[in-house]
Chains A and B, each alone.
Chain A
Amino acid sequence: GENVEQHPSTLSVQEGDSAVIKCTYSDSASNYFPWYKQELGKRPQLIIDIRSNVGEKKDQRIAVTLNKTAKHFSLHITETQPEDSAVYFCAASQGATGKLIFGQGTTLQVKP
């Protein structure tokens, strides 16, 4: 079955710097890659996603890139702000059911 590895497990940056979180997946049939942000005690929130027919997608300060050949995808956050501090999860999905396999999560701390 699908396996998703996420790195780093923790990331600390200064406000205004960029943050990059990377994920690799094992199943070449996976075709959908969402990213979720989870604040302490809250539900995960979908922040951006990318489908396998696209190499890059951007939404304001957040971007996701996908390399299907290497089977990895990354989340890029520019001009980080303290409110970006949270746990970020990547996931991969394939097939008709849409079931998601999640990475282990990255705790991002943005220092003011």
Chain B
Amino acid sequence: SQTIHQWPATLVQPVGSPLSLECTVEGTSNPNLYWYRQAAGRGLQLLFYSVGIGQISSEVPQNLSASRPQDRQFILSSKKLLLSDSGFYLCAWSVSVYEQYFGPGTRLTVT
């Protein structure tokens, strides 16, 4: 069966520091991969999605970037964090244009 991992689970970083969040999927090939952000008490905002290695589409202009170096690995990065980057970051996968499943998430606090 398919499994999705995210790490770290929680992270506290100072403003201006870099960021790297990792997501990996097991048990499937060539999944669609997504990064979402959820601010405290708010809905989910799509940040990036990828339909294949090296293919990244950005939904919201911001100081974040994403990369997909391997088929089942999706990385979210920033060179300099802002206070507004705090939130719950969720990676998701799908093997079709339909059912999408979320990872456990990374809770990021920028201080």
Docked CA distance A111–B73 (Å): 42
Q: Which residues of chain B in 13-38 are interfacial with respect to chain A, using CB atoms and an 8 Å cutoff?
A: 32, 34
Residue of A whose beta carbon sits closest to that of B103: A43
> What is the size, in residues, of chain A's interface with B at 8 Å between Cβ atoms?
23
Binary interface profile of B, 44-58, with partner A (CB < 8 Å = 1, else 0)?
111001010000010
Q: Is the CB of A101 within 8 A of B99?
A: no
Q: Is the CB of B100 within 8 A of A95?
A: no
Q: Is the CB of A51 within 8 A of B44?
A: no
Residue of A whose beta carbon sits closest to that of B104: A43
Q: How large is the interface on B (under 10, 10 to 19, 20 to 34, 35 or more residues)?
A: 20 to 34
Report chain A residues within 8 Å CB of B97: 32, 93, 95-98
Docked CA distance A57–B91 (Å): 27
Binary interface profile of A, 75-112, with partner B (CB < 8 Å = 1, else 0)?
00000000000000100010111111111110000000
Report chain B residues within 8 Å CB of A44: 44, 90, 102
Does A20 make an interface contact (CB < 8 A)? Answer: no
Docked CA distance A71–B43 (Å): 20
Residue of A whose beta carbon sits closest to that of B45: A102
Residue of A whose beta carbon sits closest to that of B46: A99
Chain A residues packing against B (C-beta within 8 Å): 32, 34, 36, 42-46, 49, 51, 89, 93, 95-105
A-B contact pairs, 10 of them (CB 8 A): A44-B44, A46-B100, A93-B97, A95-B97, A96-B51, A100-B46, A102-B43, A102-B45, A104-B42, A104-B43
13 further A-B contacts with Cβ under 8 Å, apart from A34-B100, A43-B103, are: A34-B99, A44-B44, A44-B90, A46-B99, A89-B44, A93-B98, A97-B57, A98-B32, A98-B98, A99-B49, A100-B44, A100-B100, A102-B46
Identify the 3 closest CB pairs spanning chains A and B, nearest first: A98-B97, A43-B102, A102-B44
